[in-house]
Amino acid sequence: MLYQQIAQNKRRTIYVIIGFSLLVALVGAAVGYLWAGSAMGGIIISLVLA
């Protein structure tokens, strides 16, 4: 039972990290597009900072 909870928490943590990274990438894309005209540059910079 305890090991199942640990495994479930690990899966949930991975989902949270992926969701956070996607959110940061979207914000980075928007900022990069507005400031530099390049969404890809904003995504790369934001993911490096995340």
Give average pLDDT by consecutive 10-residue segment, the chain, 50 residues: 93 97 92 88 86
Tell me what pLDDT residue 37 has. 84
- Range(s) of the domain holding residue 18: 2-49
Residue partners of 13: CB distance under 8 A and separation at least 6 = none
Residue 20's pLDDT is 95
> How long is the chain?
50
Sole residue written with tokens 């900072």:
49
Contact 32, 38 (CB under 8 A): yes
Contact of 31 with 42, CB cutoff 8 Å: yes
Q: What pLDDT, on a 0 to 100 scale, did the predictor assign at position 44?
A: 87
User: What total of structural domains would you count in the chain?
Assistant: 1
pLDDT at 38: 83
Residue 2 corresponds to which amino acid? Answer: L
pLDDT at 47: 85
Residue 36's pLDDT is: 83
